[in-house]
Amino acid sequence: MVAWDIVSSRTLINGKNLDGIFDDRVHMAELIALLGPPPPEFQKQRHLSSAFWEDSGKWKEVAPIPDITLENLAERVEGEDKEGFLRWLRMALQ
């Protein structure tokens, strides 16, 4: 996301597995870490949801959810409205 790249040199979401290859499971786990689980409607509307979530909506642990937050990733971001930027970023990512 360009807005993030402007304010930080750290990657927001890279989706790469331990071999450095893009992996949808890792990408989804990173999104869950940053934004929380998607709403049930999202899971019901996506035909591949069953690959990631159980029928109950529980994450299948197909990749570990990393211990990251937007706040942790933004620790070096400076500016008078850092909280406002993070609120906007969350809305843009959802």
Q: Burial code of 6-42, b = ≥16 C-beta within 10 A, e = fewer?
A: eeeeeebbebeeeeeeebebbbbbbbbbbeeebeeee
The confidence score (pLDDT) of residue 24 equals 92
Q: What is the pLDDT of residues 3-34, one digit of tens each?
A: 888 777 778 889 999 999 999 999 999 999 98
Give per-residue pLDDT as tens, 18-75: 999 999 999 999 999 988 888 888 777 767 788 888 888 889 999 999 998 888 888 7
pLDDT at 87 exceeding the cut of 90:
no
pLDDT of residue 20: 95
pTM attached to this predicted model: 0.79
